[in-house]
Amino acid sequence: MSSSLKRNLLTLGIIVCVIVFALSAYIVVSYISEGKKSEAEFEELRKLPEVKAEESADKYEDIAEKYRILLKRNADFVGWLRVYDTDIDYPVMQTPREQEYYLHRNFDKEYSRAGTLFAAAGGDIGRPSDVIIVYGHKMKNGSMFGKLSKVSDPDFYEGHRFIRFDTLNERRSYLIFCVYKTAVNTGEASEYRYYDRVDFEDEAAFDDFIAEAERRQYFDTGVRATYGDEILLLSTCEGAGDNGRLVAMAKRIPNEEAPEYPKQS
Domain CATH for 137: 2.40.260.10
For residue 211, tell me if it sits in a domain: yes
pLDDT for the residue numbered 214: 96
pLDDT for the residue numbered 186: 82
How many other β-carbons are positioned within 10 Å of the β-carbon of residue 54?
Answer: 9
For residue 83, tell me if it sits in a domain: yes
* Distances, alpha carbon 231 to alpha carbons 79, 85, 111, 176, in Å: 16, 21, 31, 10
For residue 4, tell me if it sits in a domain: no
For the chain, what is the radius of gyration of the CA atoms?
Answer: 22
For residue 15, tell me if it sits in a domain: no
pLDDT for the residue numbered 27: 43
For residue 187, tell me if it sits in a domain: yes
Question: Which residues does residue 131 pair with via DSSP β-bridges, in sequence order?
Answer: 231
For the chain of 265 residues, list the mean pLDDT of each consecutive stretch of 10: 66 67 47 68 85 56 78 95 93 96 96 96 94 95 92 94 92 96 85 93 97 96 97 89 89 92 51
* Distances, alpha carbon 92 to alpha carbons 57, 145, 166, 198, 218, in Å: 17, 12, 9, 18, 26
Which domain range does residue 62 map to?
42-257
Torsion angles phi and psi, residue 77, rounded to 5: -70, 125
Count up the domains in the chain and report the number: 1
Q: What three-state secondary structure class fits 182?
A: strand
For residue 163, tell me if it sits in a domain: yes
Distance CA 141, CA 205 (A): 38
Read off the pTM. Answer: 0.84
Distance CA 24, CA 30 (A): 10
For residue 139, tell me if it sits in a domain: yes
For residue 18, tell me if it sits in a domain: no
pLDDT for the residue numbered 265: 37
pLDDT for the residue numbered 13: 66
To 5 degrees, how large is the angle CA 19–CA 21–CA 26?
95
User: Do residues 94 and 119 make contact, with C-beta atoms less than 8 angstroms apart?
Assistant: yes
pLDDT for the residue numbered 25: 44
pLDDT for the residue numbered 34: 63
| CB-based burial label for 122 (10 Å; 0-12, 13-18, 19+) | middle
Q: What is the DSSP letter of 261?
A: P
pLDDT for the residue numbered 188: 83
